[in-house]
Amino acid sequence: MRIDQIKVIRKNLKLQKPYAIAGRVIDDVENICLTIQLENGIIGYGAANPAPEVVGESPIEAEDVLNKWVLPRLKGRDIRGFLGLIREFQQLIPNNPGALAALDIALHDAYGQWAKIPVVDIYGKHFDELPTSVTIGIMNVENTLKEAINFYNDKFTVFKIKTGDNPVSDVLRIKALRENFGDRVTLRVDANQGYSSEDLSYFLNETTHQNIELIEQPFRIGLESDLLVYPETIRRTFCADESLKSTKSIFPWLIEKPFGIFNIKLMKCGGILNAMDIGRIAELAGISLFWGCNDESCISITAALHAAFANKNTKYIDLDGSFDLGEDFVNGGFYVKEGKMGIYKDRFGLGFINDEFKLP
């Protein structure tokens, strides 16, 4: 079955409400959408929102790479060889994980629809649903509690708290949340490389009894070995995020293990196939998986869910990246029920419905 048409567009997607992370405020996101149409009319959808400060690629650059390097080489190829096509383009555009992710996702979706199976079943499903964390940005204690209460009222019970600007304020927020909710909620922390050694030690000492499930990327890239001074029981809760990009980037963390958890984002690693490679290596090394995202279309969020559910060492998901979008390219793909995310068992590919497609 041949690939007949390929289209790519870039669009700025507004957030319903801005949020703060260490060092900046986010109020809109730029995404690209790639569609692959087969000769029988099936349309596969891919999307990407690479973060330039993390992977060195912007959505504009991803769009340019797709138009110049991918589209001319993809038309007329057979979708039955989609895995080989992805490997081919991994070699051709190795430094463009956003472009590669959009292509990888669209090819998976098109193949799944053609083969009449969900994408997760290509690799084997280990989960039907998992609770996702929802993100609370950097704000004062009062607003943190207001945000958390709103999420809790919407049946979410896993909160990821953005920290890293001020460890004293961070501790106050964590303690206020635990005092307000008790053990009814799970607390995760994302420092976004914002802590020094002194900051992290202070934060850990002050929150010893707050039952924090994990801490994402406490230190800046390049300082990962400094985490080895902490006991192994604590390091198991440290999660590599910005330090983990491509498959090759994980190898330094497999022996000394400054991190007990790997955060996999399709926008960092270049799509589902590379994510599955990382997941398998992590499984062999006894490292848990935490699936994250940027502010993304539900297209790539759904793809991350399929990948997460296909890895048996998946332990956590943080895939709320499309929840706050004021607009999107498509609808569907996944559902959220009482704080848990799941994928539709009776839909093929990634589960989008053609008449929901909203590209001009």
Q: Where are the domains of the chain?
A: 3-117, 121-356
- What's the confidence (pLDDT) of residue 25? 75
What residues contact 142, with CB distance under 8 A and at least 6 apart? none
Residues in the chain: 360
The tokens of 121 are what? 């079943």
- What's the confidence (pLDDT) of residue 360? 44
Decide if pLDDT at 198 tops 50: yes
Reported as a pLDDT band with limits 50, 70 and 90, residue 357 is very low
As a dihedral over the C-alpha atoms of residue 160, residue 163, residue 168, residue 174, rounded to 10 degrees, the angle is 0
- What's the confidence (pLDDT) of residue 331? 86
Question: What percent of the chain stands above pLDDT 70?
Answer: 96
Q: Does domain 121-356 have CATH number 3.20.20.120?
A: yes
Q: Are strands 186-190 and 158-162 parallel, antiparallel or unpaired?
A: parallel
- What's the confidence (pLDDT) of residue 355? 47
What residues contact 226, with CB distance under 8 A and at least 6 apart? 197, 219
Report pLDDT digits (tens) over 27-76: 788 999 999 999 999 999 999 998 888 889 999 999 999 999 999 999 99
Report pLDDT digits (tens) over 75-98: 999 999 999 999 999 999 999 999
Decide if pLDDT at 22 tops 70: no
CB neighbour burial string for 89-124, b if at least 16 within 10 angstroms, e if fewer: bbeebeebbbbbbbbbbbbbbbbbbbbeebbbbbbe
Report pLDDT digits (tens) over 134-178: 999 999 999 999 999 999 999 999 999 999 999 999 999 999 999
CA distance linking residue 33 with residue 49, whole number of Å: 9
Architecture of domain 3-117: 2-Layer Sandwich (3.30)
Helix (H, G, I), strand (E, B) or coil at 334: strand
CA distance linking residue 226 with residue 245, whole number of Å: 19
